[in-house]
Amino acid sequence: MRILVTGGAGFIGSAVCRQLVAGGAARVVNVDKLTYAGNLDSLRTIERQANYVHYRADIGNERGMLEIMRREKIDAVMHLAAESHVDRSIDGPDIFIETNIVGTVRLLNAALAYWSELAIGARERFRFHHVSTDEVFGDLPFDGSVFTEETAYAPSSPYAASKAASDHLVRAWAHTYGLPVVSSNCSNNFGPYHFPEKLIPLAIINAIEEKPLPVYGTGMNVRDWLHVEDHVRALELVVRQGRPGESYNIGARAERCNVAVVERICDLLDGRRPRELGRSYRDLIAFVPDRPGHDRRYAIDPSKIERELGWKPRLGFDEGLSMTVDWYLANRWWWEPIRHRRYSGTRLGERQRRLA
């Protein structure tokens, strides 16, 4: 199977590339234009493999994407390229509209043109897999309710709204033009090679550097955590076995409030890298003004993918977080150059430098 992965130098995209290449049953064509969050160092372990190639290209270049699909004889597209940081979307929403909405339309047009040229058998096998987020559903109260594939869309942030729009566009191309699409919506991912502005890597790295560990508001906002390696196993199942026209929610039923996540990171580091004078890393926790429109709670019901495709997470939250802390302790070579790079955007840059 020849799979084109958009955004393959990002956090989840690079994990998809590593998984597929290591499995040996696919040729992976990574398309990534290498914006601030794209990092080819995340692909160092596979960059010389015969079944992997990277194109530095923009999904917004419709003609260029069509040419790559033709040249590589693509069997499936896994669309992960996206602007994905909520804080960035609040400070500068325009790039989210351009990448997540306009870029997705142009990629869909290229895929449709390519699919229309294929012979009958190849057309039946082709898939366009759109990878999205649970944030399109808005947020939940602090009760037992969960997001399902039938939950109404109610995005809160510019980021979530741009992803919701892209979800609708993908379904429209399937309904109107017959493009064989599958979709998936995941909960919050964590694991190795995660860009250092997100909660878990930011807390780990700040703690390593003895800097404050910022927690928004009261820290009681809840997220449903999914280790990235479990996520990419699910994504491979969806692109290979998912039913055209269907969507699949992917989550690990691992809800934690933000402050509890940061406290657990502190406890793990207390055991692995004790501070001087017996102090705890919990002393570094600093509550900061809340994010505008901060969603209260996310929780996914993954019953459909468990039932139809036989997927279940292998890593519990505590085990996965322990592995993640160990990875950041052992791989300063990866995150230090990113850490010392200036963030773009004046207001966001000031915020990120303050938190870091």
What is the per-residue pLDDT across 188-211, written as a single tens digit (0 to 9) for each?
A: 999 999 999 999 999 999 999 999
The pLDDT score that the predictor gives to residue 220 is: 98
Catalytic residue from among 159, 193, 298, 328: 159
Per-residue pLDDT tens for 26-62? 999 999 999 999 999 999 999 999 999 999 999 999 9
pLDDT at 77: 98
Is the pLDDT at 174 greater than 60? The verdict is: yes
The verdict on whether 328 is a catalytic residue reads no
pLDDT of residue 351 exceeding 60, the answer is no
Whether 135 is a known active-site residue: answer: yes
pLDDT at 329 over 60: yes
pLDDT at 340 over 90: no
**CATH number assigned to the domain covering 2-188+228-256+299-315:** 3.40.50.720
Predicted local confidence at residue 138, as pLDDT: 97
Question: Quick one: tokens of 33?
Answer: 């234009």
Among this protein's residues, is 134 annotated catalytic?
yes
Answer for the pair 222, 299: CB distance below 8 angstroms, yes or no: yes
Report, as an integer, the average pLDDT of 168-197.
98
Average pLDDT, the chain: 95
Q: Where are the alpha helices (DSSP H) in the chain?
A: 11-23, 62-72, 86-91, 94-96, 103-117, 120-125, 158-177, 199-208, 228-241, 258-272, 303-309, 317-330, 332-339, 346-355
87, 135, 229, 230: the active-site residue? 135
Burial of 192 (0-12, 13-18, 19+ CB in 10 A): buried
Active-site pick, 32, 83, 134, 167: 134
